[in-house]
Amino acid sequence: MNLKSLWATILSLLLIVGCSRYKISLPSPDQKGEVVIAFQNVNLVPMTDEKIVKNQTVLVKGKRIVEIGSSKTVAVPANSKLIDGTGAYLMPGLADMHMHTRDNWDDWLSIWPVSPFNLYLANGVTTIRNFGPEEGSRNYVLGWRDKINNGRLIGPNIYTSGPIIYGPVLNPQKTVRKQITKGYDFIKLYSFLSREDFYNAMITAKQASKYTAGHIPFQVGLQDVLSEGMDEIAHVEELAWEFVDFDKTKGLTGGKWMTYVIHTAYRQFKPYLGLNLEELDGRYGKAALSLARKVYAADVPVCTTLFLDEVIVEKLSEPERFLSKPENRYLPRSYIAAFKQGREKHQMQVRGGEDFASFKRRVDRILLKYLKEAGVSIVLGSDAGTGWMGLVPGFSIHEELRVLTENGFTPYEAIKTGTVNAALVTEKMNARGDFGTLEIGKRADLILVENNPLEDIANIKKIIGVMAAGRWYSNATLKDMIALK
């Protein structure tokens, strides 16, 4: 055995050991250097339909699922690595389809208590889609994407936009073409683009068949965003601005637009800030349904990012409770210090408008209700990753799922947003949407959990192990990966 093969074998052994409840055998690689990993006696959650298929065996070779069938009939090759999943449930890995990286992930020891890559994997997030890399040259994420694909870096599979096109833009056509040339997976458009800049960016992207996603620019509005063919709306909350009557022709640039629109919204909504969810539904429900039907007719998916509403309200009204959450110990140390000093982003932005934050949370829930009713494709995303909004990578996606199930989604429907729907969107991005369901030929992104996730969404947090692109991480390994030193 040469040195390279020896190290590959050692790495595979390190990644597969440590599960105390489930038996694992550790054979040597086959003649081609790829070991078959066999999940035996599992209850399958295939996500091809709302069902559980009991007593199944799933064979994985390399990065792919190569066979699925009854444990009584599937022949497990000799020298396979065996994972006995008796009584457990095997489901597709989750995707966080709206998050942000920062270049300090490479130097996480000085910023983060634990690597964000590890936090995602430990929570069963095997795919992330970067809605705009933060800091540095932004090109660093392309290197991470390729290293993970090539097995040279541990982490979830990455899809990414280029730097966010905020607006105003000196030359939107050149900016879009540059990002396409560099190999980014999609184009991220932001709120501050002028009508002309938005149209020019869209024309250039469509000529290259490049997927576009982002905010609804204030100067453009939903109707024109849809008619111009933007492929995806980045947040449910973007639709809330359609309720605000503001002057789209006002001569503002950049962040001045956000200040103007928020102040206008607060003034217009002030008489209704105390309305409960049912009362708000009565006032805005018809308008929300009308917006949702327009989005559905245009076949445009919408990302969730709804847990952030809860986090903002909690940070403002119950700061001690926010700090006491166990998962928040994984936030950057500098963020926690800023929060304790009252210098955190939302503490400064929303100070004096705490009632508006609670109101917005209720409005966003109403929008979600009618997007679902209209049949709009909802895609799971948390907006985590930067560490500067109080969202913990990986952990926040489970909170996002909880929010969905508390607002009318069944566990199956909620899981679908981060599996099936995520893969469909990825396919539209001209990438390989070969994940999200447990089928032969799909990428081996899997979560083995103790109990049925279709009965209770919280069961996904009871993780026995995670497989990302064919690489297995036992429960003990995952715990070690996020252990605070």
Give the CATH number, domain containing residue 294.
Answer: 3.20.20.140
- Do the domain assignments include residue 389? yes
- The answer on 199 and 66 residing in a single domain is no
- The answer on 477 and 386 residing in a single domain is no
- Do the domain assignments include residue 361? yes
Which range has the worst mean pLDDT, 30-34, 71-75, 429-433, 440-444? Answer: 30-34
How many Å apart are CA 168 and CA 324, to the nearest integer?
41
**Distant-in-sequence, close-in-space partners of 51: CB < 8 Å, separation ≥ 6:** none
**Mean per-residue pLDDT, 78-88:** 96
Nearest to 194 by CA among 178, 171, 162, 174: 171
**Mean per-residue pLDDT, 270-284:** 97
Q: Tell me what pLDDT residue 5 has.
A: 39
From the number of C-beta atoms within 10 Å of its C-beta (0-12, 13-18, 19+), residue 484 rates as: exposed
> How does residue 33 score in pLDDT terms, banded at 50, 70 and 90?
low
- Do the domain assignments include residue 41? yes
Which range has the worst mean pLDDT, 195-199, 429-433, 459-463? Answer: 429-433
Q: Are 156 and 180 in contact (CB under 8 A)?
A: no
* pLDDT at 224 exceeding the cut of 90: yes
- Do the domain assignments include residue 123? yes
CATH number of 17's domain: 2.30.40.10
| Structural domain total, the chain | 2
Q: Residue 160 is part of which domain span?
A: 94-428
**Mean per-residue pLDDT, 444-467:** 98
How many Å apart are CA 112 and CA 150, to the nearest integer?
25
- The answer on 41 and 166 residing in a single domain is no
- The answer on 449 and 419 residing in a single domain is no
- Do the domain assignments include residue 199? yes
| Residue 138 Cα distances to 168, 343, 384, angstroms | 19, 26, 17
Per-residue pLDDT of 412-441, as tens digits, reads: 999 999 999 999 999 999 878 999 999 999
- The answer on 236 and 111 residing in a single domain is yes
- The answer on 124 and 59 residing in a single domain is no
Cis peptide before 77 (omega within 30 of 0): no
* pLDDT at 466 exceeding the cut of 70: yes
Per-residue pLDDT of 322-331, as tens digits, reads: 999 999 999 9
> How does residue 31 score in pLDDT terms, banded at 50, 70 and 90?
very low
- The answer on 447 and 386 residing in a single domain is no
How many Å apart are CA 366 and CA 377, to the nearest integer?
16
- The answer on 387 and 298 residing in a single domain is yes
- The answer on 374 and 290 residing in a single domain is yes
Q: Give the H or E element holding residue 127.
A: strand 125-130
Q: Tell me what pLDDT residue 384 has.
A: 97
- The answer on 142 and 198 residing in a single domain is yes
Give me 452's structure tokens: 């049925």
- Share the mean pLDDT of the chain: 92
Per-residue pLDDT of 113-143, as tens digits, reads: 999 999 999 999 999 999 999 877 889 999 9
> How does residue 22 score in pLDDT terms, banded at 50, 70 and 90?
very low
Q: Give the H or E element holding residue 365.
A: helix 354-374
- The answer on 445 and 416 residing in a single domain is no
- The answer on 30 and 100 residing in a single domain is no
- Do the domain assignments include residue 433? no
Looking at per-residue pLDDT, the higher value among 2 and 459 belongs to 459
Measured from the Cβ of residue 299, the count of other Cβ atoms closer than 10 Å reads 11
- Do the domain assignments include residue 100? yes
- Do the domain assignments include residue 242? yes
> How does residue 84 score in pLDDT terms, banded at 50, 70 and 90?
very high
* pLDDT at 14 exceeding the cut of 70: no
Q: Tell me what pLDDT residue 30 has.
A: 34
Q: Tell me what pLDDT residue 109 has.
A: 77
pTM of this prediction? 0.93
Q: Are 49 and 21 in contact (CB under 8 A)?
A: no
